[in-house]
Amino acid sequence: MNAKMSTPLHQLQARGVSFLAPETCYVAPDVNPGRIAPGVVIHPGCRLSGAALSVGAGSVLGAEAPVTVAECQLGAKVHLAGGFFERATFLDGFRAGSGAHVRPGCLFEEGASIAHSVGVKQTVFLPWVTAGSLINFCDCLMAGGTGRKNHSEIGSSYIHFNFTPHQDKATASLIGDVPRGVLLNQPAIFLGGQGGLVGPCQIAFGTVIPAGQIWRGDVTEPGRLVAKVAFRSTLNMPYDPRQYHGVRRVLRNNLAYIGNILALDLWYRAVRAPFMRCEPFAAACYGGARQRLAEILEERVSRLDELSDKVGQSLALGQPNPAAAEHAAFVAAWPARQAALARLVAAREETPVPPAVGDLLARLPSGDYLAAIQGLDPAQGQRLTDWLMQTVSQTLALGG
């Protein structure tokens, strides 16, 4: 075989991967042709790279505009219409419109989708969660809904605000949760278009936030329509961005987020693994998903560490502050909390599955993961929720 015919692109063609205009595409030398399924369709102008790249059967890349796909894992029938995708994992049936900007740390589960011109980073969508167009939605986990016709929705022109005037990013938001959301039986959440969420928030299942609303705060009661005036009066006052106010809610919501990511990682290890490890492209997605969750955990702990430093700097200003005692307690307790979080993260591979849960999981029908989970009766589902809630509660307890 001559040098030209030994390139990864030509090896992919020999495997049955369809390049509609191969002369316009680039396949990096580190791409493993065996990780791209025969029958995958690649439109003109696409660029593929990364030894970890895996593309499952029936997937289509670049149907609307060129795509760059680096170190990603795609399940079956994933459609990336156009844009940039790096170190992200997409399970079966995910769809992205053109103009996407998907940065590292993203995990999109079955049937989730984003329309055109959506930017995400460190973002997790459970099955069927749908984002409209012209959205920036970084550092969030969203769940809710029972199928394609009953899904959680982010309206077009929506923003998750994840950077504070203090210049920290301890702002991840939990929209729904993992212990109930993974059962695929919870009411959908609706975030109306031309709106925004100021992180870190916790939003309950069944929440409806109407269009045009910038929401600050948590929604803890499920099934509520919520809206409020942004500011009760005009603001024009001195402000020092170095000065922090209360951090108790920020800490609680960050610990809740970390606990939910740990719970989702446990769910993958104990529940998802048998469904995903039996087929090579699904197995690649399993490995990718757990890698994404590990990256999110590292990011969230580092952001809390950064917050501790900044709160300490705020204290050092010596300015009068009603929250000074709270700040001092937070900074003093952070080293021990950080060490405890590190132990939880490190121990997740060894976290035992209770016998009653193991027996339940052993009886799940094989094959169709979504059908198996939605076939659980209420008592079985509650047992799994209670099990996952132990991980969340253990993490929240670190807040004191």
Percent with pLDDT over 90 in the chain: 95
Q: Average pLDDT for residues 227-232, to the nearest whole number?
A: 89
- Has residue 231 got a pLDDT over 90? no
- Has residue 288 got a pLDDT over 70? yes
53 neighbors 31 (Cβ within 8 angstroms): yes
- Has residue 107 got a pLDDT over 90? yes
Structure tokens at 26: 């680039």
Q: How far apart are CA 62 and CA 53, in angstroms?
A: 16
Tell me: do 177 and 269 sit in the same domain: no
Q: Average pLDDT for residues 11-21, to the nearest whole number?
A: 98
Give residue 232's pLDDT: 84
Closest-CA residue to 60 (of 111, 17, 16): 17
CB atoms within 10 A of CB 390: 15
Domain boundary among 153, 186, 219: 186
Tell me: do 37 and 182 sit in the same domain: yes
In a domain, 42, yes or no: yes
Q: How far apart are CA 194 and CA 214, in angstroms?
A: 9
Q: Average pLDDT for residues 305-311, to the nearest whole number?
A: 97
In a domain, 263, yes or no: yes
Strand partners, 12: none
Percent with pLDDT over 70 in the chain: 99
Tens digits of per-residue pLDDT, 34-62? 999 999 999 999 999 999 999 999 999 99
Tell me: do 261 and 389 sit in the same domain: yes
Helix H or strand E encompassing 76? none
Q: How far apart are CA 194 and CA 158, in angstroms?
A: 5
Helix H or strand E encompassing 393? helix 378-396
Tell me: do 281 and 179 sit in the same domain: no
Give residue 400's pLDDT: 83
pLDDT band per the 50, 70, 90 thresholds, residue 1:
very low
Give residue 126's pLDDT: 98
Tell me: do 395 and 299 sit in the same domain: yes
Give residue 5's pLDDT: 62
In a domain, 259, yes or no: yes
Closest-CA residue to 205 (of 178, 244, 172): 178
Q: How many domains does the chain have?
A: 2
Write out the residue range of the structural domain in which residue 315 sits: 254-399
In a domain, 116, yes or no: yes
pTM for the predicted model, two decimal places: 0.96
CA 147, 382, 105, 125: dihedral to nearest 10 degrees?
A: 20
Give residue 4's pLDDT: 53
Q: How far apart are CA 128 and CA 131, in angstroms?
A: 10
CATH number assigned to the domain comprising residue 38: 2.160.10.10
Q: How far apart are CA 328 and CA 301, in angstroms?
A: 19
Tell me: do 37 and 138 sit in the same domain: yes
Structure tokens at 269: 């290890």
Tell me: do 279 and 384 sit in the same domain: yes
Tell me: do 174 and 276 sit in the same domain: no
In a domain, 38, yes or no: yes
CA angle in degrees (0–180, nearest 5) for 236-210-124? 95
Question: Dihedral sign, CA of 336, 340, 342, 346?
Answer: positive
In a domain, 77, yes or no: yes
Domain boundary among 186, 213, 246: 186
Tell me: do 126 and 258 sit in the same domain: no
Closest-CA residue to 119 (of 84, 150, 72, 81): 84
CA 175, 178, 183, 188: dihedral to nearest 10 degrees?
A: 0
One-letter identity of residue 81 = A
In a domain, 328, yes or no: yes
Is 372 exposed, middle or buried (CB count within 10 Å of its CB: 0-12, 13-18, 19+)? middle
Tens digits of per-residue pLDDT, 344-382? 999 998 889 999 999 999 999 999 999 999 999 999 999
**CA within 13 Å, CB half, 57:** 4
In a domain, 210, yes or no: no
Tell me: do 174 and 274 sit in the same domain: no
Q: Which residues contact 196 (CB under 8 A, 6 or more apart)?
A: 158, 159, 160, 161, 213, 214, 215
Tell me: do 180 and 286 sit in the same domain: no
49 neighbors 67 (Cβ within 8 angstroms): no
Domain boundary among 186, 217, 238: 186
